[in-house]
Amino acid sequence: MKIPTRTRYRKRIGAFSAVDVKHDESVVSFSTAAEFYNFDMSSGSLRDGYGLELNKLVPVSSSGYWVYRYYSEEAGRNVDQYVYQMVTGALRYYDSYTGRTKLISSTSYPPIDALNYRLNGKDVLLMSCEGHRLLTWDGAALVEHAETPVITSMALHYERLFVTSRSDPTKVFFSDDLDPTNWTASATEGGFIELLDERGELNKVVSFANYLYIFRDRGISRVTAYADQTEFSVANLFVSAGRIYPESIAKCGTVITFLASDGLYVFDGYECRRVLRELDGLFTDRAVACAFHNGKYFLSCVMDFADGRSIGCESVEHTANALLVFDPVSGEYSITRGVDISFLGSCSFDGTDFLMAHDKLSSGVVVRNGMRFNKLLPKRWRGPMTDFGAPDLTKAVREIYVDSATDCALTVDVGKKTKTKTAAAGSRRVRFNVAAKRLSLAIDCDASDCNIAPPTLVYTSY
């Protein structure tokens, strides 16, 4: 096809900064991605997104990780003991003072939640899991307390342990103050709070900003619960248009972040605010795990990319396929596609902070490397199908200028056909000579340590 000589125009994408899968591509700006995964664009350029790598601190056969901190008379200081749940459900520990690694229990427990507590003058790790009553580990013995409820979530609040239970999802149970193993219902010991209204079942309790918050199927209730239970009071704060996924709820500094069936929310203790509305088309009906680490909210979930591709874990059976990393303060985010993460936990080992993750392949830590355990995840950015504000004119793309630290592929889609060319690392001019009234540009990269600056299209119109 011979393209007539015309005045040349330049169209620079501008800083990479946003994704919009909610609105029609015809109304989205050229620098906004209509398709995006495995890149990080917080710097304005396209760099490696988050991924997973092996780490000697995390056994590859572990599926959960907690730090049990206790006072050692022998050491004369607090000592960290690292408790692991293995993929078999068994529990083991590594003691940072003695250097011992030992089996706690060979029982196959469901996924465990854990927190530290000082019980009767002794440091213990409180643990709960589906179908079991409260477990305590004191460094020597694991005890299951038969008199406690079967726990689905738990939170310490003003020296009481508050829990939800699958056996009675309309109630929040609470222990005696200063003794989370005493659940005797009385005016001076333990008891329960029953909530029966349109907000539905009680799924998770969170102690936050001097209150206890109860996250329910379709709303949030707030409990004012100080030491004297006769002064407990309940206020209903929020009714959601969609179902709240309890696996997505995490305290993130001054807010609580969670996913509902109608989108992502941040909650400051009084009001809920929808965020990342432009991603509404990606979220589906499943959240798997979450954590808050180094100022960012990490959410493992299922996303519908609707492009017919299979990336990473998507080629086999999986429970999750995406990791959303969101900064509640700046609003910046990235999306990793192709990881099947079932556990996330923010941990510290000898002064080193890391985010532990269990993927079906292995266990390791979350890092910004764009890989899934030594295998690169393909990265993609695609802009919207656009007419550059001139729907009546044909645009002939003559060349594209791109500056990249690694090789990458550029694809121009004109609707009926696509044309792809490879741009070698460095500052390059890539000739295209393809024409259409509407077109889109995609950038794909399969290399590590990438850094792709926003490219410039040179075109003529007629």
pLDDT at 5: 55
pLDDT at residue 367 above 80?
Answer: yes
Q: What average pLDDT does the segment 3-30 reach?
A: 84
In 217-267, the DSSP E strands lie at 219-224, 233-239, 250-252, 255-260, 263-267
Q: What is the pLDDT of residues 98-119, one digit of tens each?
A: 999 999 999 999 999 999 999 8
Q: What are the tens digits of pLDDT across the range 232-290?
A: 999 999 887 789 999 999 999 999 999 999 999 999 999 999 999 999 889 998 899 99
pLDDT of residue 214: 97
pLDDT per position as a tens digit, 55-109: 988 999 999 999 999 999 999 999 999 999 999 999 999 999 999 999 999 999 9
| Residue 10 vs residues 279, 342, 364, 388, 421: alpha-carbon distances, Å | 29, 46, 45, 11, 19
Per-residue pLDDT, averaged over 329-340, amounts to 96
Element (H, E) at 428: strand 426-436
Paired tokens of 135 = 């477990």
Average pLDDT value for residue range 424-444: 96
Mean per-residue pLDDT over the chain, rounded: 93
pTM for this model (two decimals): 0.94
Asked if pLDDT for residue 127 goes beyond 90, the answer is yes
10 Å CB burial of residue 270 (0-12, 13-18, 19+) is exposed
pLDDT tens digit string along 373-386?
A: 999 999 999 999 99
Q: What is the SS3 assignment for 424?
A: coil
pLDDT above 90 (res 305): yes
Tokens of 145: 């307390």
Mean pLDDT of 132-157: 94
Predicted pLDDT of residue 160: 94
pLDDT of amino acid 120: 86
Nearest 5°: the CA angle 311, 316, 317 is: 120
| pLDDT class of 6 with cuts at 50, 70, 90 | low
Q: What confidence score (pLDDT) does residue 349 get?
A: 78
For residue 382, what pLDDT is reported?
Answer: 96
User: Please, which pLDDT band fits residue 2 given cuts at 50, 70 and 90?
Assistant: low
Question: For the chain, what percent of residues have pLDDT higher than 90?
Answer: 82
- Give the pLDDT band of residue 121 (cuts 50, 70, 90): confident
